[in-house]
Amino acid sequence: MTRTRADWQAIADSLSPRTQAFIDGKFVDAVEGQTTTSISPATGQSLATLAECTAADVDLAVKAARRSFESGVWSRASADTRKATLSKLSALIMDNLDELAVTDSLDMGKLVTDAHTIDVPGSAMILQFYAEAIDKLNGEIPVTPPGNIALVQRVPLGVVGAVIPWNYPLEMAIWKLAPALAAGNSVVLKPAEQSPLSALRLAELAAEAGLPDGVLNVVPGRGETVGRAIGEHPDVDVLTFTGSTEVGKMFMSYSGASNLKQVWLECGGKSANLVFADIDNLNEAAEFAARAIFFNQGEVCSANSRLLVQREIADEFVAAVVAQAKNITVGHPFDPAANMGPLVDRRHTDRVEEYLKQGVALGSVAAGGRRLTIEGSDCYIEPTVITNLAADSAPAKEEIFGPVLAVIPFDTEDEAIALAHNSEYALAASLWTGNLSRAHRVAERLHVGTVSVNTVDALGVTTPFGGFKGSGFGRDLSLHAFDKFTGLKTTWIRY
Ligand code: NAP
Ligand code: MG
């Protein structure tokens, strides 16, 4: 069913967002009574006035999480019970597909059709994957001397703090919550200030699914207050974070200065897309190259924001990418004709605009390059392609987190690999070639978390996702995510 803008707007008009913190199974005001507003970047208008929590609320949430964990109501519940509860939550997410999609779209500007076909169904599917995995996590019996047996089990770690960004509000929450809850932990989640609404609704749905009180707590508020309080809390056992490298480093400090909680970081990226002259289909590769940077307004940690293209096809390839960029319609996220919505907020758009200015000054703008005002909101950026940039210039090297592609030509395979590695990040890379040996040779040498060959940004619930170097460590998705949320416990019996 294709919906019109009016259809989406009617759903938006019918929403009544949850605006309080969710602690110990109840919606509550912030202890200190402060509130803040959530603004839609599509219109600049306020969506809701909601609780702005502080360290006092975090403390209540951690206490509730600890109580629920120690009680065993979830941590020692049968695998069947946990599986049924999380499966129910997965189903409830799909029952509320329209509402959740519209909520994330309004809150942070992504196309509602993407939220509706990707974010929300993806979240339900990921939750189902971890629900199904609960009774398949077997332990080990290692070899021990005669008369002894040792049981090695995966046990939940206790209270998990989760701090997430705004680019995939519901999905980032699920990436963390699904394996953490499946493993039997209790969770305190801080959504991003810009996009708190779907996480609050998710907490309510979790309660409806039968998740016991205190097992999932959602504390909206600012990073410097709520995020920091979670990071420094002496009774949080594990901290799982997705966001910038800068803030990721802070969580390491918070841990070191408090209780040595485990810290798992999914941080930034400046992923390279390596296009060799021997590609099978130039237009297809160009279409993927454009999608890899313009999808979700370029607000994707693994966005292929550096296009490394072999010199002999560079002009033709860039022209094909530019044609793709010029075909993109920027507009209101409910507009069925739009292919790109607004960036998350004015502050972030200012930051991206700064990089546009540098790109204009330091390179040549082949497409886009301007900030746009649409329907009264100036949070829009044209899909932009910049050529003739030095590899070490800021727009070619720093994470922009917007629809800005830096193009750098190369001559040889070695040079391409060296350019790809010329980054503080190591999250992902893509490579395009029609030569099987080159595909394997280059993929093997690329030191990043995920290499996509003849595609871009490949990702799935069954495969681990995460980076090396400044992109962090630990893996989301796949069964490996359980490594973050369980500990190995040995019980040694002499008989
Ligand atoms: P961010 O500024 O690092 O924020 C991420 C989260 O950390 C937010 O909830 C934020 O709170 C909180 N935070 C901010 N300052 C903090 C502090 N001093 N102490 C504790 N918590 C703090 O990142 P962002 O701008 O929201 O998101 C974009 C970044 O996320 C990009 O770098 C992107 O690459 C990265 N990202 C990575 C992945 C991945 O899987 N590798 C996926 C998506 C995004 P506020 O609500 O106050 O902002
Ligand atoms: Mg918002």
- 477 neighbors 465 (Cβ within 8 angstroms): yes
| One-letter amino acid of 35 | T
How does strand 148-156 pair with strand 486-494?
A: antiparallel
Per-residue pLDDT of the chain (495 residues; tens, 9 = 90+): 689 999 999 999 999 999 999 999 999 999 999 999 999 999 999 999 999 999 999 999 999 999 999 999 999 999 999 999 999 999 999 999 999 999 999 999 999 999 999 999 999 999 999 999 999 999 999 999 999 999 999 999 999 999 999 999 999 999 999 999 999 999 999 999 999 999 999 999 999 999 999 999 999 999 999 999 999 999 999 999 999 999 999 999 999 999 999 999 999 999 999 999 999 999 999 999 999 999 999 999 999 999 999 999 999 999 999 999 999 999 999 999 999 999 999 999 999 999 999 999 999 999 999 999 999 999 999 999 999 999 999 999 999 999 999 999 999 999 999 999 999 999 999 999 999 999 999 999 999 999 999 999 999 999 999 999 999 999 999 999 999 999 999 999 999
Q: In what helix (H) or strand (E) does residue 200 lie, and over which residues does it extend?
A: helix 197-209
Residues linked to residue 71 through DSSP beta bridges, in sequence order = none
pLDDT at 344: 98
Burial (CB count within 10 angstroms: exposed 0-12, middle 13-18, buried 19+), residue 384: buried
Residues linked to residue 26 through DSSP beta bridges, in sequence order = 23
Assess whether the C-beta atom of 223 lies below 6 angstroms from ligand 1: yes
Residue whose token pair is 């200015």: 357
Estimate to the nearest angstrom the gap between the alpha carbon of 427 and the chain centroid.
Answer: 12
Task: Tally Cβ neighbours within 10 Å of residue 281.
Answer: 12
Q: CB neighbours of 237 closer than 8 A, spacing ≥ 6? A: 157, 158, 159, 160, 185, 261, 262
Catalytic one of 52, 193, 232, 266? 266
DSSP secondary structure letter of residue 459: -
Q: How far is CA 140 from CA 150, 154, 179, 486, in A?
A: 8, 9, 20, 14
- 119 neighbors 107 (Cβ within 8 angstroms): no
> 263 alpha carbon to ligand 1 midpoint, in Å?
14
DSSP letters of 356-423?
A: HHHHHHHSEEEE---EEEETTEEEEE--EEEES--TTSHHHHS---SSEEEEEEESSHHHHHHHHH-S
Distance CA 133, CA 147 (A): 33
Mutate to test the pocket of ligand 1, among 244, 344, 465 (most ligand atoms within 8 A of CB): 244
Mutate to test the pocket of ligand 1, among 171, 198, 226, 301 (most ligand atoms within 8 A of CB): 301
Q: Angle CA(389)–CA(390)–CA(393) in degrees, nearest 5?
A: 95
The domains found in the chain, sorted by start residue, are: 7-267 (3.40.605.10), 272-464 (3.40.309.10)
Assess whether the C-beta atom of 243 lies below 6 angstroms from ligand 1: yes
Residue whose token pair is 């992109």: 471
Distance CA 495, CA 490 (A): 16
DSSP secondary structure letter of residue 53: B
DSSP letters of 224-241?
A: IIIIHHHHH-TT--EEEE
Q: Which two tokens stand for residue 436?
A: 């099987």
How does strand 272-275 pair with strand 306-310?
A: parallel
Distance CA 191, CA 109 (A): 16
Q: CB neighbours of 492 closer than 8 A, spacing ≥ 6? A: 144, 148, 149, 150
* Closest to 104 (Cα-Cα) out of 196, 227, 10: 196
Q: Which two tokens stand for residue 422?
A: 């010329």
pLDDT at 2: 87
DSSP helix/strand/coil, 469: strand
> 234 alpha carbon to ligand 2 midpoint, in Å?
31
The closest residue, in CA terms, to atom 39 on ligand 1 is: 266
Q: In what helix (H) or strand (E) does residue 95 lie, and over which residues does it extend?
A: helix 79-95
Estimate to the nearest angstrom the gap between the alpha carbon of 187 and the chain centroid.
Answer: 18
- 104 neighbors 115 (Cβ within 8 angstroms): yes
> 195 alpha carbon to ligand 2 midpoint, in Å?
5
